[in-house]
Amino acid sequence: MKLQISTWLQNLGIACSMASLFTLFFRLTDFAWMTKSVYYIPVFFVVLFLLGLVIAEDVRKAFKKMFWYEKRKVKHPIWQVGVGFIFFLAQIGTVMVFSTELTQPELGGMPLFLVIAFMNAFIMTVIYEEIFFRKGQASRVS
């Protein structure tokens, strides 16, 4: 059950990341008309999020193959980086699409939302690991 919830949460993060980043890219081009919003939610984002949910599992499996996840003796470090990266991209994409005013403050020249997203991703990865990753189950972790 925990494995299914873990996979489901990772797929949601991947779908959110893909939808928000593509929505942002379209918003910055001549095709900005495609990102019209209804109640402050871009319709393009919703469509891409639903499509992202369909392909998120395949994207996860492709990255596992690309980084030779199954061939590694110690899978834990690459799992941590993967989950942390999913959390990081989901937060950045969400801020860029839904709260662009939060991208303005800077901390020593670096946008503050990047710093906060990095810290949040680290904390979320540690919490996520405590819930879903147990020693001895490394071969079953997705």
pLDDT tens readout for residues 118-129: 999 999 999 988
Residue 3 has pLDDT above 60, yes or no: yes
Assign 111 to helix, strand or coil. strand
Domains in the chain, number: 1
Do the domain assignments include residue 73? yes
H/E stretch holding 62: helix 43-66
Which pLDDT score, from 0 to 100, does residue 99 have?
A: 86
Range of the domain at 51: 2-132
User: Amino acid identity of 28?
Assistant: L
pLDDT digits (tens, 9 = 90+) for 25-37: 888 888 777 778 7
In a domain, 142, yes or no: no
What pLDDT shows up at residue 39?
84
What pTM was computed for the model? 0.82
Span 49-82, pLDDT tens digits: 999 999 999 999 998 888 888 888 888 788 888 8
In a domain, 140, yes or no: no
Q: What percent of the chain has pLDDT over 90?
A: 39
Whether 8 is covered by a domain: the verdict is yes
Domain-embedded: residue 102? yes
27-31 long-range CB contacts below 8 Å, 24 or more apart?
27/97
Please indicate, yes or no, if residue 137 is contained in any of the structural domains.
no
Residue 120 lies in a domain: yes
Dist. CA 49–CA 81, nearest whole Å = 23
Look at residue 139 and tell me whether its pLDDT is greater than 50: no
Residue 45 is assigned to a structural domain of this protein: yes
Give the separation between CA 20 and CA 83, rounded to whole angstroms. 18
